[in-house]
Amino acid sequence: MTLDQLQTGRTAVIDFVGGQGALRRRLLDMGLTPNTLIKVIKVAPFGDPVELQLRGYELTLRKDEAAKITVTEMHE
Amino acid sequence: MSKLFALIGNQNCGKTTLFNRLTGSNQHVGNFPGVTVEKKEGAIRKQKDCVVVDLPGIYSLSPYTSEEIVTRDFLIKDKPDAVINIVDATNIERNLYLTLQLMELDIPVIIALNMMDEVRQSGNSIDVLQLEEELTIPIVPISASKNEGVDELIERAVKVAQKHQKPKRLDFCTGEVHKAIHSVMHLIEDKARNIGYTPRFAATKLIDDDEFIIDLLKLDEDEMDTIEHIITQMEKNLKTDRQAALADMRYNYIEKICSKAVEKKNVLKEKARSEKIDRILTSKVLAIPIFLCIMFLIFWLTFGLIGPVLSDLLTLGIDAAVGGLSTLLTDMGVSYWMYSLVIDGICTGVGSVLSFLPTITLLFFFLSMLEDSGYMARVAFVMDKLLRKIGLSGRSFVPMLIGFGCSVPAIMATRTLASERDRKMTIILTPFMSCSAKLPIYSIFTAAFFPKNAAVVMITLYVLGIVVAILAGLLLKKTVFRGNPIPFVMELPAYRLPTFKNTMLHMWDKAKDFIRKAFTVIFIAAIVIWFLQSFNWQFNWVEDSSQSILASIGSYIAPLFAPLGFGDWRASTALITGLTAKETVVSTFAVLFGTNSNLALQGALQSVFSPLSAFAFLCFTLLYMPCVAAFATSRRELGSTSTSLLTAAFQTGVAWVVALIVFQAGTLLGF
C-alpha cells in the first residue's frame, strides 16, 4: 500500500520512496528512508495534507506526495 | 586576529534565538548577492573581531533550494574559521543528518546542542561525551531561549577556530557505499582540490548525482564513465538507488550512535503539550474558526485599538516637528518655493507614509509571535489545500491576509516562504487584497454614490480583490510560473513560547527597514510629486495646481480612462498622486475641486462621475499598482527593479481590464 492510504492513527514501515528530483531528495533528507517507522497523526480539515510522525518529529506532506511512498502497515 | 563563524542548522531549531544571544542587537541584515535569501551577520558580544553569519535554516546540503546553494557557497568560498552547528536535542536524529554533511566539508565544526533543558526535564538524557567521541566534534549543551551555556559555546567556538580543529572522523560509511565513495574520491582527488572542495564531499555529491558539482569538476568522459560504473555497481549490490543509499547510510550511522548516546524514556513534555494544543487548533471543526478569531484579534488590536492611538501620537509628533521647522524656515526667510518643497513636499509626503509605521510595527509584532510560536506552520497545514489550486502553498496564506491591513508588512512577511517561486507569486498577488489605506476612498465614494448600499459595495470590492487574485494566480501559474511547484514537505515544530527578545528584535528590524525606505525611495517620490504639482512646463511656480505639470499629465493620460468611464483629468491626476499613499486620492480630489468640506467634495464628485463610473473607478483604485512604499518593498524583496516594474505594470493592466469590463458590461446592462 502507499502512505496516503494509511488510516489515521496507524503506523507503517517505509518500503520504498518514489518520486523524482527535488521532491525525492527532500523526502530522503527529511528521514523518510526505507525501514523507518511512520505514523499518520491526522488529516487537515480540508482533507489534505496529512500530518505524519517519524524519527520523533512531525512532518506534513500532501497526499499526492504521500502516494509516492510505499509502506507496509504494522499490526499490533 | 579576526574570526569568521557560520551559524548553521535546521529550521525551527532555535537558530535565530541563538543568533540573537550571540550578537545582541548588533546585527546587520541584507541579502546574499544575486538572490533574495536573507543574510544576517553580527559581531559576537564580548569577543574582539569575531563575526558570526546566520545562514538560512536548511535540512541538507543538496543544491535544490536557493537556501541550500547559498549555504554551500558560503562555506566553500568564504571559508569561515569555524561552523557553529546548532542541533535540536529534542529532534536529534534528523538534525545530525546535516551535521554529517558538514563534517564532509572538512572545516572546523562545533555543535551547539540546543533545548537540552527540555530533554532533561522530560527525564531523558543525552550522553554528550559519548556523542563527542563518536562524532569527533566538540559539543556544548545549551538552551538558547534561557541563555544557558551560550558563554561556554562562544569560548569553545573561538578555541576551535583558533586551533583550526576539524572533525577527525569522516568515515561513517560502511560496506558498499564506503567502497564507492573511496573509489570515486581516489579518482577525483586533484580536481576536487583544485576547485576548493574536499575530495570526500565532492565524491559523495557525485554519487548523489549533484549536477552542480559534476559541472564544476569538469571531468572528462573516461572519468565520468568510470564513476558511473562504480555507482551502478554499488546500486546493484545494495539493490537500491544512489540517493536512497546515501541517505540510508547517513541515517543508519546516526541511529547507531544515537542508540549508544541518547536515552529516550519518556515522550517530551513539549511534544505532548503540542499534541494537546493541536487537538484543538488543527481539529476539523475548530481549526478555521479559531484561525479567523486570531486574525480578527490581530487586526482589531492593530487597526482598532492600539494602532490609531500610536498613529495619532506619531502624527502629533510629526506635526509639531513640521510646525517647528516651518517657523524656522520662515525666520530664515527662505524663498516660498523652498518653503513649499520642505513643508508641502517632503514633510507631507514622508510624514503621511511614516504615520503607517505604528501599524506596520504592530503587525510585525504579532506576525513574529505567530511564527515563533509554531502556529504559522499550522496555518499553512490547514490552508494549504485552498492555495494549492492557484499554485501556491499554505505558507502564503498569512502574508496575503496581512495584505488586507497593509501591503508593506505583507510583502516583507513573504520572507518566511521557502520557495522563491511561491514568494514571487505571493508578492505579485498580495496587493490585490484591499489594504486599509483604500478605505477613505471607498467611504467618500460610497457616501456620494451608494449611500443606501455602502456595505454591499465595500464587501463587493473586498471580494473582487480576492477573486482577481485567484484568477491572476491561475494565469501566472499557467504562464510565467509554469513547471513544478516546490513540494510541500514541511515540519510542524512543537509549540513554544516566543521569547520577548526575539520578538522585539524582529520588530525593530522591520521598523528600521521601513524607516530607511521612507527616507530614501519615498523621500524622492515625495519630491517628484511635489515638483509636478507645483510647477508648469515652463518651470514656473503655479498657485493653482490645475495649471501644474501633474494636471497636464493627468489630462494627457485621461483619455486612457475614458473607456472605463472616468476620463476626467482630475480622476487620472488623483490616481497618480495616489501612488504616494492611497488615501491621497481623496485629498487630491479635494484640492483639484477646490472644496474644503466632505459634503462639497461629494457634490463635486457627483458632477464628474456616474454611479457606474464611480464603481469602475473604485475597482481601478482597488487593483492598480500599490503605493510607493509597497512598490519599494516589493522591489527589495524581488531583488530586481525590472521584475518589480513588470509587476506594477501587470497589476495596473489587470486593474484597467477589470474596470473596463465593469463599466462596459454595466453600460450594456443599463446601469
Q: Residue B19 sits in a domain of what CATH number?
A: 3.40.50.300
Calpha distance B586→B440 (Å, rounded): 7
Contacts of B90 (CB under 8 A, 6+ apart): A56, B115, B118, B119, B268, B270, B271, B494
Instruction: With CB atoms and an 8 Å threshold, state whether A65 touches B287.
Output: no
Min Cα distance A37 → chain B (Å) is: 13
Domain count, chain B: 2
Q: Which residues of chain B neighbour A21 with C-beta distances below 8 Å?
A: 64
Which residue is it, cell 527616507? B519
pLDDT score at B350: 81
Give how far A64 is from chain B: nearest CA, Å. Answer: 10
Q: Check CB contact under 8 Å for B384 and A44.
A: yes
**Same domain? B181 vs B258:** yes
Q: Which of B280, B385, B389 to mutate to test the interface with A (most CBs of A within 10 A)?
A: B385
Which residue matches cell numbers 464628474? B608
User: pTM for the full model?
Assistant: 0.86
Cβ of residue B382 closer than 8 Å to a chain A Cβ: yes
Q: What is the pLDDT of residue B595?
A: 79
Give the span between the Cα atoms of B154 and B47, in whole angstroms.
8
Give chain A's mean pLDDT: 93
Helix (H) or strand (E) holding B446: helix B439-449
Residues B198 and B101 in one domain: no
Q: Which of A34, A12, A18, A11 is nearest to A66 (CA)?
A: A18
Q: Are residues B126 and B26 in the same domain?
A: yes
Using a CB-CB cut-off of 8 Å, the residues of chain B touching A20 are: none
Helix axes B611-623, B641-668, angle to 10 degrees: 160
Q: Where does residue B294 rank: exposed (0-12), middle (13-18), buried (19+ CB within 10 A)?
A: middle
| DSSP one-letter code for B597 | S
Which residue, B211, B231, B263, sits at the end of a domain? B263
- CB contacts under 8 A, B 79-108 vs A, are 90-94, 97
How many domains is chain A partitioned into structurally? 1
Which one of A24, A28, A49 has the shortest CB-CB distance to B488?
A49
Question: What DSSP string runs through B241-309?
Answer: -HHHHHHHHHHHHHHHHHHHHEE--S--HHHHHHHHHHHHHT-TTTHHHHHHHHHHHHHIIIIIIHHHH
pLDDT at position A30 is 94
* Chain B residues 487-516 with a CB less than 8 Å from chain A: 487-494
Q: Which residues in chain B touch residue A61, judged by CB atoms under 8 angstroms apart? A: 488-489
Q: Do A59 and B491 touch (CB under 8 A)?
A: yes
Q: Which of B104, B138, B163 is the last residue of a domain?
A: B163
Domain that holds residue B83: 3-163
Give the per-residue pLDDT at B22.
93
Specify the 3-state DSSP secondary structure of B49. Answer: coil
B282 contacts in A (CB within 8 Å)? Answer: 42, 44-45, 51
Q: Are residues B190 and B123 in the same domain?
A: no
How many Å lie between the alpha carbon of A40 and the closest alpha carbon of chain B? 13
Given an 8 Å threshold on Cβ–Cβ distance, is A59 in contact with B490? yes
Q: What is the pLDDT of residue B661?
A: 96
> Residue A31: closest CA among chain B residues belongs to which residue?
B94
> Given A17, A31, A44, which is nearest B93 (Cβ)?
A31
B123 occurs within a structural domain:
yes
Q: What is the distance in angstroms between the Cα of A48 and the nearest Cα belonging to chain B?
A: 6
- Inter-chain touch A45–B283, beta carbons under 8 Å: yes
Q: How far apart are CA B399 and CA B413, in angstroms?
A: 6
pLDDT at residue A76 in the model? 67
DSSP-derived secondary structure letter, B624: S
Note whether B38 and B63 are same-domain residues. Answer: yes
Of the candidates B393, B367, B377, B366, the residue with the CA atom closest to the CA atom of residue B277 = B377
* B217 found inside a domain: yes
Residues found in chain B = 671
User: Using a CB-CB distance cutoff of 8 angstroms, which residues of chain A are in contact with residue B93?
Assistant: 31, 55-56
Residues B136 and B44 placed together within one structural domain of the fold: yes
**Does residue B60 belong to any structural domain of this protein?**
yes
Q: Are residues B36 and B159 in the same domain?
A: yes
Residues of A contacting chain B (CB within 8 angstroms): 17, 21-31, 33-34, 36, 41-42, 44-49, 51, 55-62, 65
Query: Same structural domain for residues B7 and B150?
Result: yes
User: Does any CB of chain A come closer than 8 Å to the CB of residue B385?
Assistant: yes
Contact A22 B486 (CB under 8 A): yes
Secondary structure class of B671 (helix, strand, coil): coil
Q: Nearest CA of chain B to the CA of A61: how many Å?
A: 5
Of B163, B195, B230, the one marking the end of a domain is: B163
B122 and B218 part of one domain = no
- Domain identity same for B32 and B129: yes
Same domain for B117 and B235: no
For residue B539, being part of any structural domain is answered with no
State the 10-residue block means of pLDDT for chain B, 671 residues long: 91 91 81 74 89 92 81 89 96 94 92 94 93 94 93 95 87 85 92 88 89 86 92 92 92 93 88 93 93 89 86 87 91 88 84 80 87 90 90 87 88 81 92 90 91 89 94 91 77 91 85 81 83 88 85 92 94 91 86 82 93 96 93 89 95 96 94 80
Q: Which domain holds residue A54?
A: 3-73
CB within 8 Å of B240: residues ≥ 6 apart: A34, B248
pLDDT at position B131: 94
Q: Do A62 and B487 touch (CB under 8 A)?
A: yes
B contacts of A9 (beta carbons < 8 Å): none
CA–CA dist B203, B236 (Å, integer)? 19
CATH classification of the domain holding A31: 2.30.30.90
Count of pairs with CB atoms under 8 A, one residue in A, one in B: 112
**Measured between beta carbons, which residues in chain B are less than 8 angstroms from residue A62?**
384, 388, 487-488
* Record: contact B59-A30, CB cut-off 8 A: yes
A interface mutation test: which of B393, B489, B495 has the most A CBs within 10 A? Answer: B489
Task: Look at residue B300 and tell me if it is in a domain.
Answer: no
Indicate the burial class of B630 (C-beta count within 10 angstroms; 0-12, 13-18, 19 or more).
Answer: buried
With an 8 Å Cβ cutoff, are A22 and B487 in contact?
Answer: yes
| Beta-sheet strands, E only, within B466-568 | 490-491
Q: Does B248 lie at the interface with A, CB-CB under 8 angstroms?
A: yes
Put simply, the answer to whether A47 touches B486 (Cβ < 8 Å) is no
Same domain membership, residue B151 and residue B130: yes
The answer to whether the CB atoms of B382 and A55 lie below 8 A apart is no
